[in-house]
Structure 1
Amino acid sequence: MAYVHPSREEIKQILEQSTVIAVVGLSDDASKTSHMVSEAMQRKGYRIIPVNPKATTILGEKAYASLKDIPEPVDIVNVFRRPEHTPPIAREAVEIGAKSLWLQLGILNEEAGAIAAEGGLNVIMDRCIKVEDSLLLPNGKA
């Protein structure tokens, strides 16, 4: 079955109910989109957990080599990796009990979406979390 975007209301509920976002592919380079988006989400009050095996700290938070290394619950796994790299990330997101898998704007992978959906996760693909949050929660979380 082909991927269908969740409704705006569903995305709004996901954002309202989420506080911890693990960002796979978060760069420590402030000029990169992953860094700018994550920094903006952090300013909005979300806890950002970097997942980058080449970094130790990003945005003042300890970076982890993989999702499985994160020692606390994760609400959203936000992914800044090429589509072909997303199925194993989806499997890890299911394994750690994340609530949602979010593939950033320009990233769509039906296999990853199916893995996450079958594992009980909400699936959002090809959407920017910062844009959606700005549109749906312009005054911040209730």
Structure 2
Amino acid sequence: MTEQTEQQSAGTQRTWEGPSATRRLQMLREASSVAIVGASAKPARASNFVGTYLLSSSNYRVYFVNPREKEILGHPVYASLEDLPEVPDVVDVFRRSEDLPDVAREAVAIGAKTLWIQLGLWNEEAARIAEDAGLTVAMDRCIKIEHARFHGGLNLAGFNTGVISSKRQTLA
């Protein structure tokens, strides 16, 4: 059972509304660094795949955050957002839904600009914490999918992105 299905069966409805596609593109274009919280060294994990994609297909400075890892994809791993060498523009979260409010508080505390909560994750308290502090929030969205969608990568996999162009966009 998905979390959305669990919420609906428990009688709770989603009330938070995420940013439009235009705003998500703007969020990606304004960013120069991404911290992946909950990153895994296991290649089968989504966070590893997203990290691989961002390192190879974007100009972002990518940081991995996980207190249990030492190195991921040849890059050092940091125990917390506070330990990063710079404040990331985007905090991309791969943690359980119940952990999201604490991650939102940590993103606020370090001065991040955007809290990006991965596909399949939903926590309105976390969104409220971040937005109340002035962060932009994307939730239940994959940053890799969104980046590829806006930069010509999904059409190569056979997805209809709705963008008709013979010109490739520049990397965000």
Q: TM-score range by the shorter chain?
A: over 0.9
Q: Which amino acid aligns with 1:25?
A: G
Report the equivalent of 2:94: 80
| Alpha-carbon shift at residue 19 of structure 1 (Å) | 1.6
Report the equivalent of 2:143: 129
| Alpha-carbon shift at residue 73 of structure 1 (Å) | 1.9
Report the equivalent of 1:26: 39
Q: Which amino acid aligns with 1:141?
A: L
TM-score normalised to structure 2 length: 0.79
Query: Structure 2 vs 1, CA of residues 57 and 140 (structure 1 numbering), >3 Å: closer, same or farther?
Result: farther
Is 1:89 equivalent to 2:103 in the alignment?
yes
| Alpha-carbon shift at residue 55 of structure 1 (Å) | 1.0
SS in 2 for 1:131: helix
SS in 1 for 2:92: strand
Q: Which amino acid aligns with 2:114?
A: S
Report the equivalent of 2:124: 110
| Alpha-carbon shift at residue 141 of structure 1 (Å) | 2.2
SS in 1 for 2:116: strand
Does 114-123 or 57-66 show the bigger shift? 57-66
Is 1:67 equivalent to 2:97 in the alignment?
no
Cα deviations by residue, 1:30-73 (Å, 9 ceiling, x for unpaired)? 11111001110111222210001011111222111111111212
Is 1:37 equivalent to 2:50 in the alignment?
yes
Report the equivalent of 2:113: 99
Stretches of structure 1 that go unaligned for 5 or more consecutive residues are none
TM-score normalised to structure 1 length: 0.95
Runs of 4+ in 1 over 4 A off after TM superposition: none
CA RMSD of aligned residues (A): 1.4
SS in 1 for 2:36: strand
Q: 1 CA distance for matches of 2:117 and 2:170?
A: 22
Stretches of structure 2 that go unaligned for 5 or more consecutive residues are 1-13, 153-168
Q: 2 CA distance for matches of 1:20 and 1:59?
A: 17
Identity across the alignment (%): 45
Q: 2 CA distance for matches of 1:40 and 1:89?
A: 23
Q: Which amino acid aligns with 1:62?
A: P
State which structure, 1 or 2, has the greater radius of gyration over its C-alpha atoms: 2
